[in-house]
A and B are shown apart, each in its own frame.
Chain A
């Protein structure tokens, strides 16, 4: 039992990653929009778990807050507003699905061609593993939020400010786009 729990703890990323993939596949494949939103929610929560298992605690929590708390609710509201359409969806998938699948397969082949050595090769000179001794620089698990905020407000202050302006523009734009004609 102890051994089993330890094994789960070691493979936390793989478990969460597989569940995220399942949620994403459910999102793409399901017919009703509400089911898609639920699959999206599940995938986002599992990605937050992935972040946590990669020792980005602050980002994992922010992911849960932003996505599960904000974006999914926004999506559900719009589904509720929009999905009562009179004419039903004739087909879920588009006609050019064949071409799309061919394009994606080509992309996957290109990816595998580039990363074949990294993913399946026996031993590259410097193996791509997560190095624990470097992670000390992040002060992981004790002060992750502090480290992230130092990066954000000291090194990347300008992108942060630009992001705030973009959020303001998006806010105003969303209000203008969604308001009714007769105001």
Chain B
């Protein structure tokens, strides 16, 4: 049986890796994957606390979060494809149209 602390620690580390990836990577696809990783870390917490409190609400909400993640990936990948058509790159450093 896993202790709550182990779950919290793993979830925190996963979230940190996600944040590090979003901040330091330049590839838009990898950044999207890191966002997914952060959502999964949150899901892990939801499930752990559902298990802890004996209520099923956390698991239901984790399922909802999974659906939101799917929607977000669909829109994000469509944006990446559209961006690639227009600018011929997926590196976020090369996308500086708003900079003036």
A residues in contact (CB < 8 Å) with B: 10, 12-14, 17, 20-21, 24-25, 27-28, 33, 36-37, 40, 43-44, 47, 50-51, 53-56, 58-59, 62-63, 66-67, 70-71, 74-75, 78-79, 81-83, 85-87, 89, 91-94, 96-97, 100-101, 103-104, 107-108, 111, 115, 118-119, 128-132, 134-138, 144, 147-148, 150-152, 155-156, 159-160, 163, 166-167, 169-171, 173-175, 177-178, 180
Contacts and interface: CB of A to CB of B under 8 A. Distances in A.
B10 A93 contact: no
Give the dominant DSSP class at B's interface. Answer: helix
Given A82-B29, A173-B78, A13 B2 contact: yes
Interface in B37-51: 37, 40, 43-44, 47-48, 50-51
Contacts of A166: 67-68, 71
A163 to B, nearest CB: 5
Interface string B89-100: 111110000000
A75 B78 CA distance: 11
Given A78-B77, A178-B78, A58 B59 contact: yes
B56 A59 contact: no
Nearest to A167: B71
Given A78-B77, A82-B29, A160-B64, A115 B56 contact: no
Contact of A104 (B2, B8, B19): B19
Contacts, number: 249
Interface of B: 1-10, 12-14, 16-21, 23-27, 29-30, 32-34, 36-37, 40, 43-44, 47-48, 50-57, 59-64, 66-75, 77-82, 84-85, 88-93
Given A85-B88, A89-B91, A119-B5, A21 B13 contact: yes
Given A13-B2, A100-B20, A119-B9, A33 B51 contact: no
B23 A177 contact: no
Given A128-B3, A138-B55, A174-B78, 8 more contacts: A21-B14, A28-B30, A66-B66, A82-B90, A96-B23, A100-B24, A101-B24, A128-B5
Contacts of B47: 51, 54, 56, 59
Nearest to B65: A163
B77 A74 contact: yes
Contacts of A63: 66
A36 B30 contact: yes
B86 to A, nearest CB: 10
